[in-house]
């Protein structure tokens, strides 16, 4: 009887700890992950600021296929002038379900 109750509570704990994220939580995690990825790129860090406006995603078995609406603000430095940039565009990416690995789709 003691073994059965231990097994039962173990299974119950595994089920209780494996919570499924809500749609809003997934969108928030995807936005945070992409924002961190874009704003920490060495070639644009401190020059251009990326702000995620919205995200649309499709859930695959081991990753999310995402399309982000991104606002890009900052200065682009070329050889002759310092131009101000303020534009909104679309970026696509694949983000793993652990919200760590990001692969841009161009």
pLDDT in tens, 41-97: 887 777 889 999 999 999 999 999 999 999 999 877 666 667 788 899 999 999 999
Query: Bigger pLDDT: 38 or 3?
Result: 38
pLDDT of residue 10: 55
* Residue 29 banded pLDDT, cuts 50, 70, 90: very high
Q: Which two tokens stand for residue 91?
A: 């970026």
pLDDT of residue 78: 65
Q: Is 38:70 a contact under the CB 8 Å cutoff?
A: yes
pLDDT of residue 59: 93
Lowest-pLDDT choice from 1-10, 19-28, 66-75? 1-10
How far apart, in whole angstroms, are the C-alpha atoms of residue 106 and residue 101? Answer: 16
Which strands, in side-by-side order, build the sheet including 82-96?
48-59, 63-77, 82-96, 102-105
- Residue 16's contacts (CB-CB under 8 Å, 6 or more residues apart) are none
Residue 100 in this model has a pLDDT that exceeds 70: yes
How far apart, in whole angstroms, are the C-alpha atoms of residue 49 and residue 45? Answer: 8
Residue 12 in this model has a pLDDT that exceeds 50: no
């Amino acid at each position: 009887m003691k073994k059965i109750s231990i097994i039962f509570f173990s299974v119950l704990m595994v089920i209780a700890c494996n919570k499924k994220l809500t749609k809003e939580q997934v969108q928030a995690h995807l936005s945070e992950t992409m924002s961190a990825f874009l704003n920490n790129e060495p070639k644009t860090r401190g020059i251009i600021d990326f702000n995620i406006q919205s995200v649309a995603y499709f859930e695959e078995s081991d990753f999310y296929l995402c399309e982000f609406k991104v606002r890009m603000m900052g200065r682009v430095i070329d050889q002759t002038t310092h131009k101000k940039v303020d534009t909104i565009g679309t970026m696509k990416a694949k983000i793993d379900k652990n919200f760590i690995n990001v692969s841009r789709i161009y």
